[in-house]
Amino acid sequence: MADLPPPTLRLRIDEGALAANWRTLDAMSGAATAGAAVKANAYGLGVDRVMPALLTAGARDFYVAHWGEVPEVARHVTAGAISVLHGVLTPADAAFAREIGARPVINSLHQAQIWLTTGGGVCDLMVDTGINRLGLAMDDIGDPLLAQLEVDMLLSHLASADEDVPLNTVQLDRFRIACGAIPARRRSLANSAGIALGADFAFDGTRPGLSLYGGIPRAELEDRISQVAFPQAAVMQIRTVQAGDSIGYNATYTAERRMRVGVVSLGYADGFLRCRGPGGALLHNTCEVPVLGRVSMDMVVVDLSAAQGIKEGDWLNVPMDLSAAAAQSGLSQYELLTVLGRRFS
């Protein structure tokens, strides 16, 4: 096939910042070792782009949610380093786990039964200490079936580590009880925000995701975590609108004066959701160019009044300071990353 022409949408990953974020989170984990959550295509940044940097930095334990996510990660690391958070829902999951060599995170007595009756082997085990999603119920931690499992990592997951609420210590206390009841080689409780809660929450392994990729769920991480994802979109056309002209679907914006506007190759299919329109802007170098009217699927129109010397084909920066973008849009920092589409190069 012919070579693709130059793109109008690109995503720069700062691999140095990514590696530094992992090292920071690993150091903040104290005696514990930080792993890396790479589910959802590494939070939208691309498994192939982040794995080399994470491996070079020193990450050894990787977490995905679905079995379908394993092959891509396993191109970079031995499958034995990958844990699958959804566990085994069916015997087919268990068969695939054994064939590919990744560990299921067992989430219930029923999953334990599936794993054991299909042959057993090393697995992880998630205990639910208060989030009430997947995870073995605390009432089941003494079940004799569990003694048959070969548990590598015993896990639990914090519901509100990004807040200072009593639930954090409630979950910590319950996890300690689970650790006393269930033999395992290693234990893990903290996600990114949990790492900032301190050494009590670190155990043997931590599981950062968001903060690897530049997310700041707690103030303690603010000066230590750097932005990793830098999307850019090209100006495809510059046009002039007259006073009274409206812009975009449903004519939600009407120009009050003659103005120069830019049509940019970025839309909600690229993760620039409609909520990033009102009050939002792109950046020409460091100059803000406000979004005008609705964000379309493939385009957005911006006000170029303040952009000196801009021309068609120039690149605009998409603001991805995650705290600021979350505040502007009402989206979570997680959503801002994971909705990035597949059209970036």
Shortest spacing between CB 63 and ligand PLP, in angstroms: 6
Shortest spacing between CB 141 and ligand PLP, in angstroms: 18
43: phi > 0 → left, psi -120 to 50 → alpha, else beta; which? left
- Kindly tell me which of 162 and 303 has the beta carbon lying closer to ligand PLP: 162
Instruction: Single out the residue of 146, 78, 55 nearest to residue 108, CA to CA.
Output: 146
Instruction: Single out the residue of 153, 10, 177, 183 nearest to residue 85, CA to CA.
Output: 153
Shortest spacing between CB 64 and ligand PLP, in angstroms: 9
- Kindly tell me which of 210 and 299 has the beta carbon lying closer to ligand PLP: 210
- Kindly tell me which of 214 and 280 has the beta carbon lying closer to ligand PLP: 214
Shortest spacing between CB 254 and ligand PLP, in angstroms: 41
Shortest spacing between CB 27 and ligand PLP, in angstroms: 16
- Kindly tell me which of 161 and 263 has the beta carbon lying closer to ligand PLP: 161
SS3 readout for the chain: CCCCCCCCEEEEECHHHHHHHHHHHHHHCCCCEECEECHHHHHCCCHHHHHHHHHHHCCCCEEECCHHHHHHHHCCCCHHHEEECCCCCCHHHHHHHHHHCCEEEECCHHHHHHHHHCCCCEEEEEECCCCCCCCECHHHCCCHHHHHCEEEEEECCCCCCCCCCCHHHHHHHHHHHHHHHCCCCEEECCCHHHHCCCHHHCCCEECCCHHHHCCCCCHHHCCCCCCCEEEEEEEEEEEEECCCCEECHHHCEECCCCEEEEEECCCHHHCCCHHHCCCCEEEECCEEEEEECCCCCCCEEEECCCCCCCCCCCEEECCCCHHHHHHHHCCCHHHHHHCCCCCCC
- Kindly tell me which of 127 and 210 has the beta carbon lying closer to ligand PLP: 210
Instruction: Give the footprint of ligand PLP on this chain (CB under 6 A).
Output: 37, 39, 85, 157, 191-193, 207-210
- Kindly tell me which of 65 and 287 has the beta carbon lying closer to ligand PLP: 65
Q: Which residues are catalytic?
A: 39, 249
Measured between alpha carbons, how far is 21 from 213 in angstroms, rounded to an integer? Answer: 8
Residue with nearest beta carbon to ligand PLP: 209
Shortest spacing between CB 341 and ligand PLP, in angstroms: 20
- Kindly tell me which of 50 and 233 has the beta carbon lying closer to ligand PLP: 50
Measured between alpha carbons, how far is 156 from 153 in angstroms, rounded to an integer? Answer: 10
**In the numeric block, which tokens belong to residue 338?**
């994971």
Shortest spacing between CB 217 and ligand PLP, in angstroms: 6
